[in-house]
């Protein structure tokens, strides 16, 4: 009987710990200031594929915010910087005046995939966007 309760307790603690790991909020200091995959041709190609599969429905095929499921943010004009982009992807975002919000993808899409999508979106950026904020020109 005691062993059974102990095992249940350990299992419950392990599940709670695992849930907290995946639900933990993203802290800006854990996200690089600039995209480490910026300009990487392989990452851009992978990011394009991921974007078309999971982002284009809301943000449009050209990332202009004109998706099939409504009007999403125009990602070509991003004014959040790379860290802000990653935080919004992971935590989601509600924008006043919009019926549709950005869902949280933390625990669904890994960091590498988010960075690949970001590398692709950088290639679509228009004048005034700050995708490359923090990039050190080499």
**What pLDDT, in 10s, does the model give residues 92-101?**
998 887 777 8
For residue 79, give every residue at least 6 positions away whose Cβ sits within 8 Å of its Cβ, in sequence order, or none: 128, 129, 130
pTM: 0.73
The reply to whether 110 falls in a domain is yes
Distance CA 51, CA 118 (A): 9
Q: Please, which pLDDT band fits residue 27 given cuts at 50, 70 and 90?
A: low
- Buried-exposed string 23-42: b where 16+ CB fall within 10 A, e elsewhere: eeebeeeebeebbebbeeee
- For the chain, the residue count is 138
Q: 99-122, pLDDT tens digit by residue?
A: 778 899 999 999 999 999 999 999
- Would residue 18 count as lying in a domain? no
Q: Is residue 55 situated within a structural domain?
A: yes
Q: Is 73 a domain residue?
A: yes
With respect to residue 8, please indicate whether it lies within any of the assigned structural domains: no
Give the CATH number, domain containing residue 105.
1.10.760.10
Pick the more confident residue, 61 or 18.
61
pLDDT tens digits along 31-85: 998 999 999 999 999 999 999 999 999 899 999 988 888 778 889 988 888 999 9
Looking at the structure of the chain, the number of domains it has is 1
Alpha-helix runs per DSSP H in the chain: 2-23, 41-50, 56-59, 81-91, 111-122
pLDDT band at 2, cuts 50/70/90?
A: low
The answer to whether residue 82 sits within a structural domain is yes
Report the pLDDT value the prediction gives residue 95, as an integer from 0 to 100.
Answer: 80
Whole domain around residue 83: which residue ranges? 27-122
pLDDT for residue 68 = 87
């Amino acid at each position: 009987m005691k062993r059974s309760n102990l095992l249940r307790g350990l299992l419950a603690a392990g599940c709670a710990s695992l849930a907290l790991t995946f639900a933990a909020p993203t802290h800006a200091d854990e996200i690089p200031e600039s995209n480490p995959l910026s300009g990487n041709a392989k990452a851009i190609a992978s990011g394009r594929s991921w974007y078309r599969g999971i982002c284009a429905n809301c943000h449009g095929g050209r990332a202009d915010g004109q998706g099939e499921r409504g009007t999403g943010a125009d990602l070509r004009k991003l004014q959040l910087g790379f860290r802000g982009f990653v935080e919004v992807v992971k935590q989601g975002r509600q924008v006043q005046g919009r019926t549709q919000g950005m869902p949280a993808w933390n625990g669904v899409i890994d960091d590498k995939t988010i960075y690949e999508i970001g590398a692709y979106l950088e290639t679509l950026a228009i004048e005034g966007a700050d995708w490359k904020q923090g990039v050190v020109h080499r």
